[in-house]
Amino acid sequence: MNELLETLRQPWPWYVAGPLIGLTVPILLLFGNKSFGISSSLRHICAAVIPANISFFKYNWRKESWNLFFVAGIALGGFLGTYLLGNPDQIVVSEHTQTTLASFGITDFSGLMPAEIFGTAQIFSLKGLIFLVFGGFLVGFGTRYAGGCTSGHAIMGLSNLQWPSLVATVSFMAGGFLCTHLILPFLLQLVR
C-alpha cells in the first residue's frame, strides 16, 4: 500500500497521463453519448439555483446533471491529490523562466502559481483586480464566445474531428503565446 501511495505521489509522465485523459472521450461517448467539457457546468449550476426568467438558463439542466458530479469529482480529486497525495518535491521551473519572472519581482516558485500574483495578499490589490477579476472575466467571455472551453474543444472536439474545435484550439494556443510573451510582461511591468 505504501508503494502505491509513493507511485501516486510522483508526477506522471505525459505518455501515461495524456492517454488517460484522452480515454475519457470514448468512455463518455460509450456510456450515455455524453460530451466532455467543464465550462458548461457553470451554466448548469446557474440554471439550477437562479430562479430568474433568463432564456439562456431555461432548459432541462437535470438532463446534464451528470456533468455537475463530474466537476465535483474533479474538485474532490484535486483536493485529495493536493492534501493526501501531494508530491513532496519542489515544483521545477526552468532557469530561463525564473530569471525572466525575477526581473518582474516574481521569485516565489514554491506553489502551483506565483504568490506575488495569485496569493491571498494580492486579492484586493491592483494586481488582483487585473489578474483575477479582469482575467477571469476574459476567460469566461472567451469560453462563451468560443462555444466551449479548452477541455471541450481540444479533447472532445478534436477527437470528433470538428472543424470549429480545431479553430478554437489553435486560437487558444495563439492567445496563450501572445499573452505569455507580450501581454503578461506589459501587465507585470505596469503593476510592479
The span from the CA of 46 to the CA of 117, in Å, is 29
Task: Please report the sign of the dihedral spanned by the C-alpha atoms of residue 53, residue 58, residue 63, residue 66.
Answer: negative
* Nearest one of 117, 78, 83 to 101, comparing CA atoms: 117
pLDDT of residue 173: 92
* Cβ atoms of 64 and 44 closer than 8 Å: yes
pLDDT of residue 167: 93
pLDDT of residue 163: 93
* Cβ atoms of 148 and 39 closer than 8 Å: yes
> Which parts of the chain have pLDDT scores under 70?
none
Neighbours of 106 (CB within 10 A): 17
* Cβ atoms of 77 and 50 closer than 8 Å: no
How does pLDDT run across 101-143, given as a tens digit for each residue? Answer: 888 888 888 877 888 888 888 888 888 888 888 888 888 888 8
- DSSP letter for each residue of 92-130: P--HHHHHHHHTTT----SSSS-HHHHSGGGTTSHHHII
* Cβ atoms of 28 and 35 closer than 8 Å: yes
CA dist 5 to 86, 90, 153, 173, 184, Å? 10, 18, 33, 34, 38
